[in-house]
Amino acid sequence: MSQQTLAEKVGVTRQTILAIEKDKYSPSLEVSFKISNVFKVSLENVFNYE
Amino acid sequence: MDFSYKEKGLIASLGVTLLIFGWYLYGAFLNLSLNPEPPGFGEIIILIIWVAVLESIIQGFLASKNKSQLEDERDKLIEKVSYRYGYYFLSACIWFLMAQILLDTRFDHLPVLTTPYGMLHLLLLFFVLAEVTNFVVQLYYYRKGF
């Protein structure tokens, strides 16, 4: 899935997806859940807290 | 270097602000005198119209080149933080100006700044610099990450 497609599904900009991937931005809980819903996996499988 | 739609818009706003207000304030501070003509509101209004027109043209052009002008939570957060820095900067400048007025001796070496015309332009300079701070902080966070 492209960053643009994911961004559209989640309702954020492609730059925000890019920033999340590069660990330069911690998304809100709402966006985190939306991302995990898109991939149909649990939150812990997408994000982890270090 | 690859810039996002938001960054291009910010650079354009920064450029227009620096160009128009920089040009105006440079001329105004060069021509400050102890017995100046009263400040003309017409000049300031024309200046604001110039900024608004140039901003509209550039932002319209950028918007036509980008299909998505969505603003998300990251944009809002960066904007919020940058406005806070702009506010801190403006507050510091206003406190500085108030101290100058209360102490009444600090502008001894530059008495033209104590005239209404000088004060008006100092205030305008502080507002412009606060806006520049806002743009620069936003650009910094878009580049560095937030």
For the cut 70, the answer to whether the pLDDT of residue B37 exceeds it is no
pLDDT of residue B106: 67
Report how many domains make up chain B: 1
CA-wise closest residue to A44 among A30, A32, A34 = A32
What digits encode the pLDDT tens for the residues B62-121?
Answer: 888 776 667 889 999 999 999 999 999 999 999 988 888 888 766 777 777 778 788 888
Nearest residue in chain B measured CA to CA from A26: B146
Note down the domain range covering B112.
5-144
How is residue B3 written in tokens? 């810039």
Confidence of residue B38 (pLDDT cuts 50, 70, 90): low
Where are the domains positioned within chain A? 3-40
Q: Which residues of chain A does B6 touch, with a Cβ-Cβ cutoff of 8 Å?
A: 13, 15
A37 part of contact set with chain B, CB < 8 Å: no
Decide: B88 and B137 in contact? Cβ < 8 Å: no
Neighbour count for residue B143 (Cβ, 10 Å): 13
The pLDDT value given to residue B35? 62
- Predicted ipTM of the assembly: 0.85
Q: Inter-chain contact B4–A12, Cβ cutoff 8 Å?
A: no
**Residue A25 at interface with chain B, using a CB cutoff of 8 Å:** yes
Is residue A3 within 8 A of residue A10, CB to CB? The reply is no
pLDDT on residue B71: 83
In degrees to the nearest 10, what's the CA dihedral of B48, B49, B52, B57? Answer: -150
Averaged pLDDT of chain B: 85
Q: Which backbone phi and psi does B22 adopt, to 5 degrees?
A: -60, -45
CB < 8 Å to A27, chain B: 73-74
For the stretch A34-49, pLDDT in tens is: 999 999 999 988 888 8
Write the residue in B68, B71, B146 that is nearest to A25 by C-beta.
B146
Query: 3-state DSSP call for residue A22?
Result: coil
**pLDDT above 90: residue B133:** yes
What is the model's pTM?
0.83
As a whole number of angstroms, the distance between CA B25 and CA B86 comes to 19
Task: Check if the beta carbon of residue B25 is closer than 8 Å to that of residue B124.
Answer: yes
Q: According to the model, what pLDDT value does residue B36 have? A: 63
Chain B residue whose CA is closest to A17: B74
> What 8-state DSSP symbol labels residue B37?
P
